[in-house]
Amino acid sequence: MKKRYWAIPLLIFLVALDWYIRAPDSRSRELTKLIATRASSELKDYPYQFKVLKVSGSTAYISTPRNFDVPAFKALAVLYPEINTKNANDPAFIAAEQKLGRVQSEAQAIVLAQPGIKGVEWQLDRDWLTAHYIDVPPK
């Protein structure tokens, strides 16, 4: 059996490259920290933590557990397992959906209040969804 000594350095290189590509820059980390420090108690206590993934020009890209491809009820089922998210008329579900909207808007407002940021784009948090066994459609 031939030994493949090149495989380990290649694996290390690929892991480092993946980290480098996906690692947030210092501005993103700063904005994420601002979300955490300036947040209301409702946002601080929310079970999903919004984070700035990247800044491109004057646009900040913030993570979200929902969008048109992954509706809110799927994320809310993870965030609030005690709620019947299959019943859109359930008052607890409606309240949870409204709360998600409020905390998401607050995170957006905190980021938009920062110098140099003129827009926010929401980016589906595929890693979080996958980690919670929610199917994510391909990009």
| pLDDT at residue 128 in the model | 93
Res. 1: pLDDT tops 60: no
The per-residue pLDDT for range 69-104, each reduced to its tens digit, is 899 999 999 999 999 998 999 999 999 999 999 999
Amino acid at 73: F
Give the C-alpha separation, 35 to 15, whole Å: 28
Distance of CA 61 to the CA centre of its chain: 9
How is the chain split into domains, by residue range?
A: 25-131
Give the burial string for 87-114 (b: 16+ CB within 10 Å, else e): eeeeeebeebbebbeebbebbbebbeeb
| pLDDT at residue 50 in the model | 97
